[in-house]
Amino acid sequence: MRGWPRDHQGEESSVTTALRIATRGSALARAQTGLVAAALTEATGAEIEIVIITSEGDRSKESLASLGGTGVFASALREALVAGDCDLIVHSLKDLPTAPYPGLVIGAVPEREDARDALCTREGLTLDELPEGARVGTGSPRRVAQLLSLRPDLTIVDIRGNVDTRLGRLTDGDLDAVVLASAGLGRLGRLDAATELFALDLWPTAPGQGALAIETREGDSIPELLSIEHTPTRTAVLAERSVLAALEAGCAAPVGATATVHGDELRLSATVYQADGEAELGCERSAELLGDDHLVAELLGQAVAAQLLEDGAAELAPVGGAAANGGHGEDYWPGGSE
């Protein structure tokens, strides 16, 4: 096992083991893991072994609630990491619950790719150009509210399944459009399917969208990870996740959050939507990054959440504890995978 020899001085040089990265079997999970493995090898020459783990969430067609709710996809991987069957897990950061997992930490956050949502339509149409009453597929309450706020006439179809399944619903003619994360499409080499990318100031996306999290055991030293850590991304996603945690928002809460770092300034904006898109509340704040970036990010997220709650977010959407369910990622689908 890699964990313990590395923690014991002197043994490291005599034990040359590969870094074992666990991943779910879905195409997106494997693509993301492959990208991280390649970046680590390129930067440090590290030898990587990829371990594919199938979780109950991938296998089962049962509803998430009947599987025990939160984190079903992440839990099999996390158990493997705690047990020492692997050294790293690559997650889509937006799918990682905000609550800490005992014994595990986010060991690295690589530079975020595109955080935007993409509209994919059959004939290259934009949202404005879709015909009246067009059928648009998504399983995310945030995306539903955002779609309806701009196009109340649309028919929203609740869809599940991986990216290819979702795009397949388009080509089959069953749907006129689907909304997907640009980052996921890009990692799968399917950005050609995107016909419109929504600007983040009009269409904020899920906290952490477009970013990856490398999860490790607490106390393990894996110096290779320094080569892929991107401080501004970590600070930004911490702020976005802090809003979600402080709002006590479950996965059913339509919340968008966007944070960016400009020099010494961290800017965070968050929006809470009414389910039908007819009302929304937004809040934008910034803070100076002087000293402890993580603490600043955490506090900024809490300040934005407090303001949103003061302005009535809990009357608008299932936030403020009322509907909190542990906060697994948005657009979670039973029986499917990304």
Q: Which residues bind ligand PBG (CB under 6 A)?
A: 92, 94-95, 180-181, 183-184, 209-210, 329-331, 338
Rounded to 10°, the helix 293-310/231-247 angle is: 30
Q: Is 280 helix (H, G, I), strand (E, B) or coil?
A: strand
DSSP 318: S
Least distance in Å: CB of 206 to ligand PBG? Answer: 7
Least distance in Å: CB of 209 to ligand PBG? Answer: 4
Nearer to ligand PBG, 118 or 289 (CB): 118
Nearer to ligand PBG, 92 or 146 (CB): 92
Using left for φ > 0, alpha for ψ between -120 and 50, and beta otherwise, residue 331 falls in left
- Tell me the β-bridge partners of 262: 265
Residue in 58, 87, 95, 117 annotated catalytic: 95
Q: Which two tokens mark 62? A: 């049962």
End-to-end Cα separation, the chain, in angstroms:
30
The answer to whether 5 and 12 have CB atoms below 8 angstroms apart is yes
The arrangement of strands across the sheet holding 117-121 comes to 155-157, 135-137, 177-181, 117-121, 196-197
Nearer to ligand PBG, 118 or 314 (CB): 118
Using Cβ positions, the residue closest to ligand PBG within the complex turns out to be 184
- Specify the amino acid at residue 325: N
Least distance in Å: CB of 145 to ligand PBG? Answer: 15
Q: Which two tokens mark 87? A: 């050294």
Least distance in Å: CB of 331 to ligand PBG? Answer: 4
Nearer to ligand PBG, 198 or 309 (CB): 198
Rounded CA gap, 81 and 310, in Å? 40
Q: What values do phi and psi take at 13, rounded to 5?
A: -65, -25
Nearer to ligand PBG, 179 or 314 (CB): 179
Residue 95 bears catalytic tag? yes
Nearer to ligand PBG, 240 or 338 (CB): 338
Least distance in Å: CB of 130 to ligand PBG? Answer: 19
- Tell me the β-bridge partners of 273: 280
The answer to whether 258 and 279 have CB atoms below 8 angstroms apart is no
Rounded CA gap, 157 and 173, in Å? 13
**Mind telling me the catalytic residues?**
95
